[in-house]
Structure 1
Amino acid sequence: MGVIHVTDRAGQRHTLEAVEGWRVMEIIRDWGLPIEGLCGGACECATCHVFVAEEWMDKLFPPTEEEENQLDTVVTKPSSRLSCQILWTPELDGLEVTLAPST
């Protein structure tokens, strides 16, 4: 087990326990923070859009073409990712993300 740090849309920071192999979207949702994830993690809706802290970007697998296509449907930053496409591993202990504005 480890943790991720999530800043919600109101600017409040939450430290959440994370389980290896779970999608970051699932961790955030299961702790009750307001993330939609309407497609359930199928990379089809972009409602789990987050901004990843810059220092963590190089530790993530690059986005797939499918993820990039979904990110093209929302207002993004260079640190934008779909949290359903980030699988938590011990190497991501301490990961910092911020929930993107609702679309």
Structure 2
Amino acid sequence: MTAIRDRHFAAAALKILSENIRAQERTLQKYRGYSPDCIMPLLGKTYRSINSTDEKRSKKKAGGMKFRDDELIHRTTFGLMVRSKSEPLIAEVLHDRGIDFRYEKVLRLYDEYE
């Protein structure tokens, strides 16, 4: 009796294994990678074009140091250095649409009594 049971067990297991193999083959046919190389082409132009760098910038620029210059760690495609992750996105959209803007333009305040 044990041999008959083992044969039926093996047949049931083989059936399940065959179904699992077919399911895995279907999955592999539909599988999409999720590495940066696979995902970046799916993003919009604005998001693909942003280059971030962890290097701290401490070089002097024309006109002297900018405010907290060492925190400018994200670069746009047109070379503008900014601080936060969202600023390059905004800068890229403005630049792509031809909208003139200045990043952190110096604000001069005057006392009305001076």
Output the TM-score relative to the length of structure 1. 0.23
**More helix, by proportion:** 2
**More strand, by proportion:** 1
Structure ranking higher on relative contact order (CA contacts 8 Å, 6+ apart): 1
Output the TM-score relative to the length of structure 2. 0.22
